[in-house]
A and B are shown apart, each in its own frame.
Chain A
Amino acid sequence: MPLVNFAAREINYKVVYYGCGLCGKTTNIQYIHRKINPDARGKLVSIATEEERTLYFDFLPLTLGTVRGMKTRFHLYTVPGQSYYNASRKLVLQGVDGIVFVADSQITRLDENVASYLNLWDNLLAQGDDLSRIGFVIQLNKRDLTDVFSVEDLNELLNHTGSPLVPSSAVQGTGVFETLKTVCKQVIAKTA
C-alpha cells in the first residue's frame, strides 16, 4: 500500500524483513545503515529488549531522492522473530509493499525457518491483501557458516512462490545490498 502524496510529490514504500529469531534481520538493517551513503538514509530506530533482541521492530528510512518529480522513499522494518511475538509481527506487516524473508541456512534451524515461513503466509492471508502485488525475496543467510543446507534444498523447502533467492552473510555484508536492490525493484515494478 504505497503512500502517494501528490501535494508533497512523494511516494513511500514499506519493506519488511521477516524470519525466525536470530536469523539476521536486524543485522541486515544495521549493515545497510552503516554502509549506505549517509545522504540516502534517515535515523535507525530500534525497539529491543535489554538483551538487544527485537521486541517490536527496527525501522530505517531510505531515500532515492527525486525520481521523475516524485521524492521516493523506502521504509525498512524488521519484525521480532520469536514465535510468541506474533501480534507484533501482524502489526508491522500492515500496509507492506515488499517482504524479505531471511532464512537461517543452518541445518539445525530448519524447523524455525519453516515455522516462520508458514507464519508469514498465515499473517499475510489473514490481512486480506492481494499477494500478487507484494514484492517478495528470500535471503539465504549465514552462508559463511559450515553445516548449512544447500541453496537447492532451501529453495525446495522455502520457496513455493518461485521468488528470487539471494545467498548472503549479513554479518559480513555479502548479499545484503543485492537483497535490498532486488526487493525495492520488485516493489516498484508491482505498483507500475
Chain B
Amino acid sequence: MATRRGLVITDRQVDRSDALLWELKRLLDCGFLALVTTAGQPITTASDEDHPETLSLASLTASAFAATRQLAEILNEREFTLLFHEGDSVNLHVAQVTEQILLLITFGRDVPIGKVRLYTQRAIVVLARILREDDAPDTQLKVDEFYEATADRRIDELFCDNGPDCLTDPA
C-alpha cells in the first residue's frame, strides 16, 4: 500500500527529548548531541554552543547511516543499528532511535566508547517511547491556504538572482 505522511514533532516530545539529551550529555561529558531524521533534517540539539554546521551534519549523518543499512543488506545482515567514526580528537556515534529518527553524538577520545554505547542504548529506549507517543493524532500537517499564499509570495521574492528585486532580509 502506498504510504506518505509527514513526521510531526510536538512541543512536548521535543521538551522531553531535550531533557533526556542534556542528561545524556552530562553523563557522558560529550560535546554535541542531536536528533535528526533519516531524511537528513535536524529535529533538536543539545550543545553548549550553536553548531554552525547542524544542517550539513544532519544531512551527511542520515546519508552515511542509510549507506550503512545498504551495506548490511548486501552482507545479508538484517541491519547495522549504529555507526561509529573515530577521529584524532573527536569521535562520532550514530544510532537509530525509531524508523525515522537517528541520534548523533560527538565525544572526545577521553570518553570510553563502551560507556557511550551503554548509555546511548538506554537513552534510545526512552527516546523511542517519547517520539512514538502522540504519533497517530498529530500526523495531519497544519499547512493551510494562508501559509501557502504567504510562502508562495516569499518564494517569488527570495528565490531569484540576487538583484534589485530580491529582498535582503528574509525575516
Binding site for B on A (CB under 8 A): 1-8, 11-12, 14, 32, 35-40, 42-43, 45, 56-57, 59, 61-68, 70, 72, 75, 77, 87-88, 90-92, 94-96, 128-131, 133-134, 173, 177, 180-181, 184-185, 188-189, 191-192
Assess A7 versus B15: contact at CB under 8 Å? Given A130-B4, A188-B143, A192-B144. yes
Asked if residues B158 and A40 are in contact (CB atoms below 8 Å), the reply is yes
Q: How long is the Cα–Cα vector from A95 to B7 in the complex, in angstroms?
A: 10
Binding site for A on B (CB under 8 A): 1-11, 13-15, 37-41, 43-44, 53, 55-56, 59-60, 63, 66-67, 70, 100, 141-148, 150-152, 154-156, 158-162, 166-171
Among A2, A7, A95, the residue within 8 A (CB) of B14 is A7
- A95 (CB) vs chain B CBs: closest residue: B39
Interface of A is mostly: mixed
Q: In the complex, what's the smallest C-beta–C-beta distance from B12 to chain A, in angstroms?
A: 8
Asked if residues A70 and B147 are in contact (CB atoms below 8 Å), the reply is yes
Among A61, A91, A184, the residue within 8 A (CB) of B67 is A91
Among A3, A6, A77, A129, the residue within 8 A (CB) of B4 is A129
Q: How long is the Cα–Cα vector from A6 to B159 in the complex, in angstroms?
A: 25
**Contact sample, A vs B, 11 pairs, CB 8 Å cutoff:** A4-B142, A5-B44, A38-B162, A64-B155, A64-B158, A64-B170, A65-B169, A67-B150, A67-B151, A184-B151, A184-B159
Q: How long is the Cα–Cα vector from A4 to B167 in the complex, in angstroms?
A: 26
